Amino acid sequence: MGNSVVAETEVSTSIVHFYCTFRTEMSEWSGDGGPYLSEYEGELRVGLEDDVDEFRLAGRAKLFIVNPDAAEEDEEAPSLFELLDLRGETAAYLPLLHSTEPNMFSPAVRRILREDTGPSRNMLILDRLELLPEFRRQRLGLRYIRTAIKRFGSGCRIAALKPFPLQFERTLDDPDLEWRARMDLDLLSRDTHSAKTTLKEYYSREGFIPVRGTDLMILDLGH
């Protein structure tokens, strides 16, 4: 699966600022989600205290914006269930939907959401954040998440992520073995329960709440 993010422990940092250059595609064909499922993939670069003018590669990031509200106005557009099911990465978020009303959020999700906000079902999915070893434990992950939500969360009802530690992914799932070697995932904990618990606690700092009965977390953006 490609739905993981590496966590860090908070310590003093030498990172002054960061930026992320995203790549995306646009199509009028609804078979790949068209304008209703947008993928953004890019590189995360940072400026350090000793040389703020030279930005160094710190990691990679990928996110999706799912827009079923706009799709309702297009008779040929996929439903919310169909949009999520189009990609393996987004299909991991199908448990957020109602079992008998698959175009609506599940009761577990709705219990988290504020009742006095609008009915939007649009989603920001923070799919991946991969940080190189020298840039971990500097709160860069939280800074990225916070900025990504500000930049891409407008019009979205929830932000969602899957806190699955990268070190437990199958190597065969990663076609870029050179990058995986640079990630040096052997430095991370091999205790599955401890690693997952650490990730959940990490994302809870930004307000993400575990969705009961799933391995997903969401943040209510409807405020």
Range of the domain at 168: 15-220
Residue 10, domain member (yes or no): no
Which residue, among 34, 30, 47, has the nearest Cα to 138 in the 3D structure?
Answer: 47
**Token duo for residue 202:** 């990490």
Residue 171, domain member (yes or no): yes
CATH assignment at residue 212: 3.40.630
46 contact partners, CB below 8 Å, separation of at least 6: 15, 16, 17, 18, 55, 56, 58, 135, 140
Query: Which residue type does 131 have?
Result: L
Q: Quick one: average pLDDT of 126-136?
A: 89
> pLDDT, tens digit, for every residue of 57-102?
999 999 999 999 988 888 778 889 999 999 999 999 999 999 998 8
> pLDDT, tens digit, for every residue of 173-212?
556 778 777 777 776 666 667 777 888 898 999 999 999 9
Strand-pairing partners, residue 44, are 20, 59
Residue 71, domain member (yes or no): yes
Q: How many domains does the chain have?
A: 1
Q: Are 128 and 60 in contact (CB under 8 A)?
A: yes
Residue 152, domain member (yes or no): yes
